[in-house]
Amino acid sequence: MTHPTMEDVARLAGVSRALVSLVMRGSPKVSEQRRKAVLDAAEQLGYSPHAMARSLASRTSTVLGVMVSDLHNAFFAEVVDGLDAVARDEGFELIINTGGRSPSREKRAVSSLLGFRPAGLALLGPVVPPTTLATAADQAPTVLVARSSRLSTLDTVNDDGEAGSGLAVDHLVSLGHTKIAHLDGGVGSQAPQRRRGYIAAMQRHGLTPWVIPSEYTDIAGAKAIRQLLEGGQLPTALVAANDFNAVGAISALEEAGLHVPQDMSVVGYDNTSLAGLRHVSLTTIDQPRHEIGRLAGEALLQRVRGERTEPIRKLLHPSLVVRATTQARS
Amino acid sequence: MTHPTMEDVARLAGVSRALVSLVMRGSPKVSEQRRKAVLDAAEQLGYSPHAMARSLASRTSTVLGVMVSDLHNAFFAEVVDGLDAVARDEGFELIINTGGRSPSREKRAVSSLLGFRPAGLALLGPVVPPTTLATAADQAPTVLVARSSRLSTLDTVNDDGEAGSGLAVDHLVSLGHTKIAHLDGGVGSQAPQRRRGYIAAMQRHGLTPWVIPSEYTDIAGAKAIRQLLEGGQLPTALVAANDFNAVGAISALEEAGLHVPQDMSVVGYDNTSLAGLRHVSLTTIDQPRHEIGRLAGEALLQRVRGERTEPIRKLLHPSLVVRATTQARS
DNA sequence: CTACTTGGTTGGAGCGCTCTAATGCTGTAG
DNA sequence: CTACAGCATTAGAGCGCTCCAACCAAGTAG
């Protein structure tokens, strides 16, 4: 349990500590003979370099800190995958930390990450106040995902929620629908963008927007629909806040004896794995999650390498995935 | 971007570096006057301690390394939550790393984690060979989750898959079912345990086991059912490999005009968020995920603190969650 | 008045590594 | 035979911190 050090390896190989350091860093200016001796000694002792000591001595870091606001959200898992891919390619490694959607825990998570003096920081869906973002961006190059900011010291990468809702509306209009309602995501992140996009698209088509308050859960979706059914007036199509909300809405419709998509078309948002299940088969809007992660990683590394200091604001285009919950208006 | 050091704080506060160190570690043997001076200076400079230097100098670590084989799996997300809760309570912090279900990537992830000389290591669902586990356990106290091992140098925490399948069978038997089939999870982790538990429970009830090959996906579940329907003979109840498999099976049954639970009862496994959706409302087996994380964290910290050296093998009891896909045999 | 405490404070060594400048060693040219 | 490359190798300082032993008042007992 007590690890051998460079000194130990050097002694066993009969060389100096500096030479071992050169070998470990793959320097070309080491004779084959010595290199082999060092490698053998390291192998024999089970030596592995002490990343922290290295980072301390070299005053550089190959660590990128990632704060994930919510580990349960599969969206972030895929973003992390994208980040991981570019980081690995460029010789960086990720340390991930979770904030549990609580501002105070997130703040602690970020400063814990900062304690490692990472080369850069990626904050995925942070809910901390802007001042905390500013402080973080002050200490290390920072990129924000699924959260916008006007701060010039950091980059942002986001899904274009307005465009996504627009795609949903366009799709429904092309199927002949005109009475299209939006189930609003309330306080959920990205909800305002999605609502704005819906309203703008409706107006673009000369239709009257109809926003129904709801939330990002299936329970809320079902509840909104039950209230709607009591009211009498019904739309012929729904643009739901997200997939969960859509599934809840569909359940409530079916309980009331209505069929999807025959009586009502429904479009979700996020293209979660849920939407892809054949039992659900939900028409939805897909965010390029992996791409978002890749771009965030690239933006971050550009800053880390000092190749850029102006902020970048990436807005990625979502796409429509047509499945079985939408059809032409009958 | 260049961080102030203890030296800077000491100079500004007019004290020695050692005194700043004492303040930072909250030592009681510092006068109020000096403490305030130091704290003010630190605040003014925006100083935050360098975690790596601290760890190097103190020869201790407050970091627990967590390798998650698959970030997309919500199961692990909840286990991490449990780990996080105990770690936080005891003053440790987590650094997470992902292995993408590939042995080679997992191996790299583990040695990267080891490079930080963490106080302990938690491997969640690792797919690496036993020798890699042994090497890791040799370098730091290690706990395994969702993977068993006979190595005496590490602890394991698992869900009792045999007991879980048993619960499902008992439930169905209590509802009057006798022709109960099992959709097998194939190569999925825990699949053998679940199958064994099913077979044992059937025999315990004096019933004939009926294992149908399948896999952990909804596609596979649907496919298995379609083949079954062609065969003619049908069970009255299904114990599915997991929730996804169950949902696929249900879709295929409904496509064939059969109703769940009227014509067939179905039990899933895992109690994923999917199962809880009202649209699905699947009777299933719940693993105490958070508890698994907590226990793993506690086991790990016991080893870290040297309170125990004998291995622990925790097997947690799953529980039955009755929803709408099972009913008494008509 | 001296001998001890005691609580607060400090210098300095050292954690495992990197990096610069210096060293030794060949071989070749003058 | 000396001079000087050019290369492989090494000594030693230093990264930001902790921790030990030493130190320095100011009080307390004998």
List Cβ neighbours of B18 (8 Å cut-off, separation of 6 or more): none
Chain D nucleotides covered by protein, CB below 7 Å: 7-12, 14-20
Q: What is the mean pLDDT of residues A217-239?
A: 94
Bridge partners for B183 per DSSP: B212
Mean pLDDT of A191-209: 97
Mutation test of the interface with chain A: which of B278, B281, B304, B323, choosing the one with the most A Cβ atoms within 10 A? B278
Q: What is the pLDDT of residue A99?
A: 87
In sequence order, the 6+-apart residues with CB closer than 8 A to the CB of B182 are B165, B194, B195, B198, B199, B209, B210, B211, B212, B238, B239, B240, B241
Specify whether the CB–CB gap between B9 and B47 falls below 8 A: yes
Among residues of chain A, what percentage have pLDDT more than 90? 88
Three-class DSSP category at A124: strand
Q: B125: left (phi > 0), else alpha (psi -120 to 50), else beta?
A: left
pLDDT at residue A281 tops 90: yes
Question: pLDDT tens across B61-87, in order?
Answer: 999 999 999 888 888 989 999 999 999
Q: State if pTM tops 0.85.
A: yes
CA distance A80 to chain B (A): 9
CA distance B16 to B14: 7
CB A23 within 8 A of CB A16: no
Phi, psi at residue B24, to the nearest 5°? -60, -30
Cβ B100 vs Cβ B128: under 8 Å: no
The neighbour count for residue B183, using CB atoms within 10 Å, is: 31
Query: Residue B328 CB closer than 7 angstroms to strand C?
Result: no
- pLDDT given for residue A260 in this prediction: 94
Tell me if A84 and B74 make a contact (CB, 8 A cut-off).
no
* Chain A positions in Cβ-Cβ contact with residue B138 (cut-off 8 Å): 1, 46
- Proximity of residue A227 CB to strand C below 7 A: no
Report the distance separating Cα B319 and Cα B164, nearest Å. 7
Res B99 pLDDT > 90: no
* N residues, chain A: 330
What's the pLDDT score for residue B287? Answer: 95
Query: What confidence tier does B101 reach under pLDDT thresholds 50, 70, 90?
Result: confident
> What is the structure's pLDDT at A73?
82
Kindly report the bases of strand C lying within 7 A of a protein C-beta atom.
Answer: 7-12, 14-20
Are residues A81 and B100, on separate chains, in Cβ contact within 8 Å? yes
Neighbours of A146 (CB within 10 A): 23
pLDDT band at A70 (very low <50, low <70, confident <90, very high): confident
Q: What pLDDT score does B201 carry?
A: 98
pLDDT at A330: 77
Q: Which of residues 23-42 of A touch strand C (CB under 7 A)?
A: 24-25
Which nucleotide lies closest to B6 by the C1' atom and the CA atom?
D16
| pLDDT at residue A187, as a whole number | 85
Closest residue of chain A to B50, computed from CA coordinates: A115
- Tokens of residue B212, six digits: 């149908």
The size of chain B, in residues, is 330
- Whether the CB of B16 is less than 7 Å away from nucleic strand D comes out as no
pLDDT of residue A14: 94
Instruction: List, for residues B275-288, the tens digit of each pLDDT value.
Output: 998 889 999 999 99
- CB–CB contact A111 B56 (8 Å): no
Distances (CA, A) of A53 to A50, A239, A321, B3, B55: 5, 54, 49, 17, 9
- Could you please report the per-residue DSSP string of A251-306? HHHHHTT--TTTT-EEE-SB--HHHHSTTT--BEEE--HHHHHHHHHHHHHHHHTT
Residue of A nearest to B59 (CA): A2
Residues 6+ apart with CB under 8 A from B227: none
For residue B252, give the nearest of B218, B213, B211 by alpha carbon: B218
- Whole-angstrom Cα distance, residue A120 to residue B118? 21
B294 pLDDT tier (thresholds 50, 70, 90): very high
- Interatomic CA distance for residues B102 and B126, integer angstroms: 9
> Nearest residue (Cα to C1') for C12?
B18
Provide the pLDDT confidence category of residue A161 given band limits of 50, 70 and 90.
Answer: very high
d(CA B184, CA B194): 8
> Measured between CA atoms, how close is A250 to chain B, in angstroms?
8
Q: Say what the pLDDT of residue B244 is.
A: 93
CB A183 within 8 A of CB A218: no
Gap from A46 CA to D10 C1', Å: 24
Kind plus residue range of the DSSP H or E element containing B61: none
Q: What pLDDT digit, counting tens, does each position of B162-176 carry?
A: 999 999 999 999 999
Q: List pLDDT tens digits, range B200-248.
A: 999 999 999 999 999 999 999 999 999 999 987 899 999 999 999 999 9
Spell out which residues of B between 52 and 71 contact strand C, using CB within 7 Å: 53, 56-57, 59
d(CA A68, CA A74): 11
Query: How many helices (H) and strands (E) in chain A?
Result: 13, 12
- Calpha distance A67→A115 (Å, rounded): 13
* Residue B72 beta carbon within 7 A of nucleic strand D: no
Q: For A249-266, how does the pLDDT look when each residue is reduced to its tens digit (9 = 90+)?
A: 999 999 999 999 999 999
Burial of B91 per CB tally in 10 Å (0-12, 13-18, 19+): exposed
Please state, in angstroms and rounded to a whole number, the distance separating the CA atoms of residues A299 and A10. 40
Q: Across chain A, what does the average pLDDT equal?
A: 94
Candidates A246, A247, A318; CA nearest to A289 is: A318
Higher pLDDT, A318 or B72: A318
